[in-house]
Amino acid sequence: MAVFALVFLAPIAYSIYLSVFRTQLVGGTSFVGFDNYRQALTDPLFWDGLGRVSLFLVVQVPIMLGIALLVALAIDGGRLYGKSFFRISIFMPYAVPAVVASLMWGFMYGTRFGLVGNLNDLLGTAIPDPLSPDLILAAIGNIVTWEFVGYNMLIFYSALRVVPHSLYEAAEIDGASQWQVVRAIKIPAIRGALVIATIFSIIGSFQLFNEPSILQSLAPNAITTSYTPNLYAYSLSFSGQQYNYSATVAIIMGLITMVIAYVVQLRGMRKES
């Protein structure tokens, strides 16, 4: 219990403590109550960042989970040759640290010396610059999808593995098609796993940080210091010395994430019962 208090509660308590003060370069520290919260809730930079990760969430997460589900079903279906090879090669990117993955993709995105540049030279195409402000969010989505499809696939696949075989046999006797088996047996059986994966992905989207932070050095004008709420909190704290405001942004972001994850969980549970 003491360990729990020290490791989990103390940092949160300290952040809340920080968030009700304000330290100025001139004038020192003073107690400001909920001023920081008021400021954050009316801060366009914060809302822009939140809007961006929300857009990311509604577009990228379904694509990623959809691909993961398809791959898991394909591997589980047993019709695939080299099943374990597929499984391991799709899971492999998850073993690559996010920082390395972002760097790697960042180099590939380069229109001059990167893969995109080479393709343009070779095929005479004009693939637009993935690091331009208009496309950078999609470029980040691509990296994140590449990284996490394997991870989610593994969650789905392991859930599929525990479905009793007698159900499939019964379905076969009833003359059910593969598609019916998938819809009536497999998907309902792994609903729990789907909900868990969705919640993880929501949290992951709201906490988007590594990828934009790394790509920032390659595309400083496309990724602003407030590109995602997490990046904003980081910039506030490390270049602006606004620790108090940074703590406030972090707390608000944590609360929003919790609420949304909780809503999704409730919905997921209700359908299950």
Partner 1 sequence: MTARPRRALRAAALLGVASLALTACAGGGDTAGSSQDPVDSETALEEGGEITVWAWDPTLESVAADFEAEHPNVTVNLENVGTGNDQYTALQNAVAAGNGVPDVAQIEFYALPQFALAQSLTDLTTFGADELEGTFTPGPWQSVTASGGVSALPTDSGPMALFYNQRVFDEHGLEVPTTWAEYEEVARALHDADPDAYLTNDVGDAGFTTSLIWQAGGRPYQVDGTDVTIDFSDPGTRTFVDTWQTMIDDDLVAPIGSWSDEWYQGLSDGSIASLVIGAWMRGNLESSVPDAAGDWAVAPMPQWEDGQSVTAENGGSSLAVPAASENAALAYEFVEYATVGEGIATRVEEGAFPATVAELEDPEFRGEEFEYFGGQAVNEVLADSAAQVAEGWQYLPFQVYANSIFNDTVGQAYVSDTTLDEGLAAWQESSVAYGDEQGFTVTE
Contacts to partner 1 by CB under 8 A: 24-27, 107, 110, 112-113, 132-133, 217-218, 220-222, 224-226, 235, 238-242
A 10 A CB-CB count for 246 gives 23
Q: How far is the CB of 22 from partner 1 (least distance, A)?
A: 8
> How many whole angstroms separate alpha carbon 49 and alpha carbon 246?
14
- 61 vs 64: CA distance, rounded Å: 5
3-state helix, strand, coil in the chain (%, to 5): 75, 5, 25
* Closest distance of CB 25 from partner 1, Å: 4
Residue of 251, 265, 245 lying closest to 23 (CA atoms): 245
Q: Cβ closer to partner 1: 238 or 262?
A: 238
Nearer to partner 1, 150 or 212 (CB): 212
Q: How far apart are CA 220 and CA 227, in angstroms?
A: 11
DSSP 241: -
Nearer to partner 1, 152 or 237 (CB): 237
Q: How far is the CB of 17 from partner 1 (least distance, A)?
A: 15
When the beta carbons of 156 and 209 are compared against partner 1, the nearer one is 209
DSSP letters spanning 168-222: HHHHHHTT--HHHHIIIIIHHHTHHHHHHHHHHHHHHHHT--HHHHHHTTT-TTT
User: Going by DSSP bridges, is the β-strand pair 28-31/21-24 parallel, antiparallel, or unpaired?
Assistant: antiparallel
Provide the minimum distance between the beta carbon of 26 and partner 1 in the complex, in angstroms, as a whole number: 3
CB of 34 to partner 1, least distance (A): 16
Nearer to partner 1, 73 or 218 (CB): 218
**Distance between CA atoms of residues 160 and 88, nearest Å:** 17
Q: Specify the residue, 110 or 268, whose C-beta has the smaller distance to partner 1.
A: 110
Nearest distance from residue 91's CB to partner 1, in Å? 30
